[in-house]
Amino acid sequence: MSTLTESAPRDGLFTGLNDGLICLERHLRHLRRAPGRLVNAVLLPMVFVLLFGVLFGSVIEVPHGDYAEFIMAGIFVQGVMSAVPGTAVGAVEDLRNGLVDRFRSLPMSGAAVLIGRTLGDTVLRALSCLAMAAVGLGIGWRTHENAPKVLAGFGILLLFGFTMAWLGALIGLLLGDPATASSVPSLLLMPVLFLSNAFIPLTGLPHWLAVAAEWNPLSSVVGACRALWGNPAATVHHSFPNDHPVVLSLAWMALILAVVAPWAVRTFRTAVAR
């Protein structure tokens, strides 16, 4: 009688990326069989654009700018963040649905499943950004920089989405329960989102709170997109976060990835070994 033997996982950056791309292909095939996830990834961000861009645009004024152009970067960031609970739940389900048991018999990198999951969810975020951009153009949002800068802004959004996917995977693996993983990320991230420059100018906040909001990583991502798209930033004083949002956003994302990605991989390997 034959028995299932476990193969030793392969380590190394390039091995992990190659195996991760194999898992990404599997993940995308599963998305085709789950159109509900695709619809949710596209429709919910479009609702955000209509809600904040149309309803709030009539009551909030932005110094030296149009509110629709001011808010779009914030809506993009919110749309990307709204997918974090889905990544958290997906990471837990990857442990529970037998996928890992099947992969344990293969000489795959221990990080492959997470790389495939985070890359696949980043593809979903790209689709949601395209949908939001289309609706944003309909409500009056425009970019005012050259094509390379505009594309760089969307590149920062996708890198932010990849970073948030790893954060979501880590949260899900630490919680270990799909029901909890679907709600806790929003509770953790929403206060961070609203304590940023995503939806309101920071000029009316108390000084100490405005400084905290300026150094918020989300404010840096939003500010970087506004700068690269030529949209109003509504800032009235000079500070490092206000003057260098692109550099600061890249630094924040590199730091978060450097901490979260290895932590998530270790947590995943520990859970698999149980």
pLDDT tens over the chain, length 274 residues: 444 444 445 555 566 676 767 777 777 777 777 777 777 778 888 888 888 877 776 666 666 667 788 889 999 999 999 889 999 998 898 887 766 666 666 666 667 888 888 998 999 899 999 999 999 999 889 999 999 999 999 999 999 999 999 999 999 999 989 999 999 999 999 999 999 998 888 887 888 999 999 999 999 999 999 999 999 886 667 889 999 999 999 999 999 999 999 999 999 888 877 6
The 3-state DSSP composition of the chain as helix, strand, coil percent (nearest 5) reads 75, 0, 25
Predicted pLDDT at 245: 96
Among residues 79, 263, 265, the alpha carbon closest in space to that of 157 is found at: 79
Domain presence at residue 5: no
Q: What per-residue confidence (pLDDT) applies to 26?
A: 76
Question: What is the reported pLDDT for 128?
Answer: 92
Q: In this structure, is residue 2 part of a structural domain?
A: no
Does residue 137 lie within any of the structural domains?
yes
Sign of CA dihedral 48, 139, 130, 257: negative
- Angstrom distances, CA of residue 167 to CA of 68, 179, 189, 262: 29, 17, 11, 11
Residue 95 lies in a domain: yes
> What is the sign of the dihedral through the CA atoms of 251, 255, 256 and 258?
positive
Would residue 249 count as lying in a domain? yes
Q: What is the pLDDT of residue 8?
A: 47
Distance from C-alpha of 231 to C-alpha of 143, rounded to nearest angstrom: 7
Torsion (CA) 140, 145, 150, 153 in degrees, nearest 10: -90
Query: Could you count the other beta carbons within 10 Å of the beta carbon of residue 11?
Result: 10
Specify the length of the chain in residues.
Answer: 274
Q: Structure pTM?
A: 0.87
Task: Report the alpha-carbon angle 229-44-204, nearest 5.
Answer: 55
Domain count, the chain: 1
In a domain, 108, yes or no: yes
Domain residue limits at 195: 18-273
Q: Is residue 220 part of a domain?
A: yes
